[in-house]
Amino acid sequence: MIINLNPAITLYVIVGFFVLFSYIVLIMFAIKGIIRLSLTAEPNYSNDKPFISVVVAFRNEASNLNNLCNYLLNQNYPVNKYEIILVDDYSTDNWRDIFDSKSERLMVISSFREGKKAALREGILHAKGDIIVTTDADCILQKNWLNVISSSMLVNSFQMLIGPVKMESENNFFGRFQVIDFLSLQLVGLGLAKCNFPIMCNGANISYMRSGYIKYNDQLNDKFLSGDDQFLLHSFKKSGFSIGAIISDTSLVCTKVEKGIKSLLKQRIRWASKSTGYTDWQTIIVALLVFWVNLFWVSFSVLMFFNTILWPFFVLFVLLKAFVDRSLLKPGSQLFQIRWDEFLFWIMQLLHPFFICIVVFSSFIVPVSWKGRQIIKG
């Protein structure tokens, strides 16, 4: 059967599938990196332990600080080889009560300027370690977390190490949706980093040399309250520093999903809004490619109701995208110890493109606040 398309429809289909095939190439590179990471043995813990400074910026995290301190104080790492620096970012809750009975090994200071970047900068200026390790106050850490970080950085001479972050939730659709959505970000970021193409990291599990941070901390785009992780990654990358990635049970950091749709959208819009400050062209291209493939998915699904000739193209588009997404997510879920749910995957294939488009468009027009602060979008 010969399908006759008018020139406008023909151009639309050609551009759509060009974007899709470019997206497939991108995901195949990520899959290659994930396979390489899965085959990379965790390095033996070195007897030569560098001094590590764990720096955590927090704001209104009184409910999480007790657990965080326990995770950090109980690391299987020599107590004389690491320090813990907690920096208050103008909290308004009762966080000070948490530290009344805590160890003297905790250094708790207050930031002199607002924003996570400013708080981290304050902590790092007080740090004595050669290696800076950051996480978030609501995270769950493994006992050998610092061991695997220090060994990985020493063995490979990394200037920066991107670690895995996993979202955990109760067994409901809303929570599982966030888990898989976040997993996709993690797998692409870690996989591309392993292919020497680092574009993405998460401040909940990132380590870097203090000397590099001191040299480039003035390039963190301070007009954005967030983005401490991404802008630092881009600075290190631009300078030619060695950037590595790791995935292992020991290096895995767990965090919580958002509790409601409103808070989820605010979180994702906040993440998207800082992209206007990106200058790394590779990151910009990947972000645009992911957005455009989802935008074409959505537009195909709408236009096919007005022009039935688009139905076969839409079905092919959906199947090809689903095939490559599944090829990344299913093995990746095993590495992150996430139960695979085939039904959830296909439901997300139908819903996720709309979610992405809503987040991206909203990031340009919807004012976003975080813990009582207005987010600057650039």
Q: What is the pLDDT of residues 329-363, one digit of tens each?
A: 999 999 999 999 999 999 999 999 999 999 999 98
**Mean pLDDT of the region 283-303:** 96
CA distance linking residue 295 with residue 367, whole number of Å: 22
pLDDT, position 209? 96
User: What rounded mean pLDDT belongs to the chain?
Assistant: 91
Q: Is the predicted pLDDT of residue 2 greater than 50, yes or no?
A: no
Q: Tell me how far apart the alpha carbons of residues 110 and 18 are, in angstroms, rounded to a whole number.
A: 51
Q: What is the pTM of this model?
A: 0.93
Torsion of CA 75, 230, 367, 349, to 10 degrees: -90
Q: What is the pLDDT of residues 179-205, one digit of tens each?
A: 999 999 999 999 999 999 999 999 999
Among 85, 26, 94, residue whose Cα is nearest residue 290: 26
Secondary structure of residue 40 in the 3-state scheme: coil
What is the third-level CATH fold of 44-258? Spore Coat Polysaccharide Biosynthesis Protein SpsA; Chain A (3.90.550)
Secondary structure percentages of the chain, helix, strand, coil, to 5: 55, 10, 30
Contacts of 84 (CB under 8 A, 6+ apart): 54, 56, 69, 72, 73, 105, 106, 107
Is the confidence at residue 46, as pLDDT, over 80? Answer: no
Give the pLDDT band (50/70/90) at residue 102.
Answer: low
Q: How confident is the model at residue 1 (pLDDT cuts 50, 70, 90)?
A: very low
Alpha-carbon distance values, 127 to 2, 114, 230, 243, 364 (Å): 69, 19, 21, 22, 37
Confidence tier at 97 by pLDDT (50, 70, 90): confident
CA distance 367 to 376: 9
Q: What are the tens digits of pLDDT across the range 207-245?
A: 999 999 998 877 777 776 667 899 999 999 999 999 999
Please state the domain extents for the chain.
Answer: 9-35+282-374, 44-258
pLDDT digits (tens, 9 = 90+) for 250-269: 999 999 999 999 999 988 98
For residues 293-307, one letter each, b for 16 or more C-beta atoms within 10 angstroms of the residue's C-beta and e for the rest, the string is: bbbbbebbbeebeee
Q: How far is CA 271 from CA 61, 173, 174, in A?
A: 20, 22, 19
Q: Is the pLDDT of residue 289 over 90?
A: yes
Alpha-carbon distance of 64 to 204, in angstroms, equals 14
- pLDDT of 310 over the 90 cut: no
